[in-house]
Amino acid sequence: MAERRVYIDRGPGEVRGVVAVGGRAERLLIERAGDSYPRLGARYRARAVRLDKGSGLALLDLGGGQSAALRLKADRAPPTEGQALEVEIAIEPQGPKAAVARVMGAGSGAPGLIGESPTLEARLHAFAPGAAVIGGREARAMADEAQDEALAVEHPLPGGGSLAIEITRALTAVDVDLGAGGARDPKRAARQANMDAIAALARLLRLKALGGLVVIDLVGRGHDGPALARAAQTAFGPEQPGVIIGPITKFGTLELALPRRYRPVRDALCESNGRLSTASLALRALRSAETQAMADPGGRLTLRCTPDVAEAARRVLPELVGIIGSRLDVISDPALAKDVWEIAAR
C-alpha cells in the first residue's frame, strides 16, 4: 500500500492541508479567515421557510444569513413551513447550489450553529490515520503543487496520453487522449490509456473535491466493459457508499455518479468564471513575499499589485507582519494586470 502523508501549510490568511498518497496529492483542504459557509458535519438549529414539492426540496434558514436545502423523501412527512428542526450538513455548497442538510431530530429556538464541523486537522487524519504532520517549506511546496493541479484542466497520463477534466453546470466531462502513446499498437495502447485514466481520474476528482455525474469519453473502440467497470469500482472505492457505475454506451462513454460531500476546490479559489479570485491572488502574492522575506532576513520589501488585490492583501497583512515583522509595503499599481505582482527590495 502506498504511503500516506499529511502536509499543513499555515500561511497568512489561509491554512492549506494536503493528503498525499505515494508522493501525489489526493486531497486538498483550504480554510481561510472569514470563510462562512455550512461545512460538512456541522449541526444547526434550522427553520423550514419554504417547501417546493415540485423540486422535492425544502429551504432551511440556518441563521446568520446561511441557508441549506433539505431533500423531501416519500417515506417521511415533509416539514411544515416555520417548523424548527435540528439538522446536520451532509453536502457543502456546490457553486450556486446551497448546502444540503439531513434531519437529526426536532428543534427549538432561533436558527443557529449548535455543533462545529470537524477541524481541518481532524479531516486530514480521517483520510490518513496515523500519518505524521509535515509543515514548513515542504508543506508549502506540496500545497502549491496540489493547488495548481486541482485547478488544471489537462493532466498527463503514463505513456504520453492525457486526461482533460472540464466542469459544467450539469456534469463533469472527461476526455481521454492517447497522444503519441498508440503509435505502435493502437488497440493495446488505447486499453492501457483508459485503465490509466480511470485510476488517475479517481485521484484527481478527490483532489478537486468533485462529485455528481461524470462522463468519460474513452479512447478507442471495442472496449472491455467488465474490465473497465472493475477498474472503476476499485479506483472509486474510497467514495463508497454512493458510487454508481453505468455501462459503456454505444458512443464509447463511461458514466459515473459520485457522491458530493465537500465544497469543490475551484469554488474556494476562483470566481464563477474559473479565474482566481481577488482574495486568492492576494494570498498568493503574500506567500511569494513571505518566501522572499525569509530568504532575506531583515530586508525590506515592496509588493506592487493592482488596487483590488492590494486592498485584499492589506486586510491580511497583519498576519504576515506577525511572521516576518513590519518590513513589507503593499503598493497599488493600476497599470499591472490583475494576476501580476512585483516584489522588490528597497
Domain shared by 162 and 207, yes or no: yes
User: Do 194 and 318 sit in the same domain of this protein?
Assistant: no
Q: Is the pLDDT of residue 338 over 70?
A: yes
**Are residues 75 and 126 located together in one domain of the fold?**
no
**Domains of the chain: total:** 4
Domain end position, chosen among 202, 237, 266: 266
Confidence of residue 2 (pLDDT cuts 50, 70, 90): confident
| pLDDT confidence band for 235 (50 / 70 / 90) | very high
Q: Is residue 302 part of a domain?
A: yes
Q: What is the CATH number of the domain that holds 123?
A: 3.30.420
Q: Which domain holds residue 12?
A: 4-34+118-145
| Average pLDDT score over residue span 257-281 | 96
Q: Do both 184 and 255 map to the same domain?
A: yes
Q: Hey, is 135 helix, strand or coil?
A: coil
Residue 193 backbone dihedrals phi, psi, to 5 degrees: -65, -40
* Secondary structure of residue 183 in the 3-state scheme: coil
Residue 7: phi, psi to the nearest 5? Answer: -125, 135
Positive or negative, the Cα torsion across 105, 109, 111, 114?
Answer: negative
CATH code for the domain in which residue 67 is found: 2.40.50.140
Residue 262: per-residue pLDDT: 96
Helix (H) or strand (E) holding 136: helix 136-151
Residue 272: inside a domain: no
The arrangement of strands across the sheet holding 301-305 comes to: 328-332, 301-305, 342-345
> What's the average model confidence in pLDDT over 135-157?
97
Q: H or E segment at 117? A: none
Same structural domain, 236 and 260 = yes
- In-domain check, residue 271: no
- Are 70 and 48 in contact, with CB atoms under 8 Å apart? yes
Local structure of 123: helix, strand or coil: helix
- Are 241 and 340 found together in one domain? no
Give the predicted TM-score (pTM) of the model. Answer: 0.93
The pLDDT assigned to 186 comes to: 79
Q: State the Cα–Cα distance between residues 254 and 292, nearest whole angstrom.
A: 47
Residues 234, 157, single domain; the answer is yes
| 132 and 20 housed in the same domain | yes
Pair 234, 298 in one domain:
no
Q: pLDDT band at 183, cuts 50/70/90?
A: low
Are 22 and 134 in a shared domain?
Answer: yes
User: Are 180 and 140 in the same domain?
Assistant: no
Residues 253 and 335 in one domain: no
CB-CB contact of 89 with 38 (8 Å) = yes
Whether 160 is covered by a domain: the verdict is: yes
Q: Is the pLDDT of residue 126 over 80?
A: yes
Which CATH number is 335's domain given?
3.40.1260.20
* Per-residue pLDDT, 34: 83
Is 273 domain-assigned?
no
| Residue 179 covered by a domain | yes
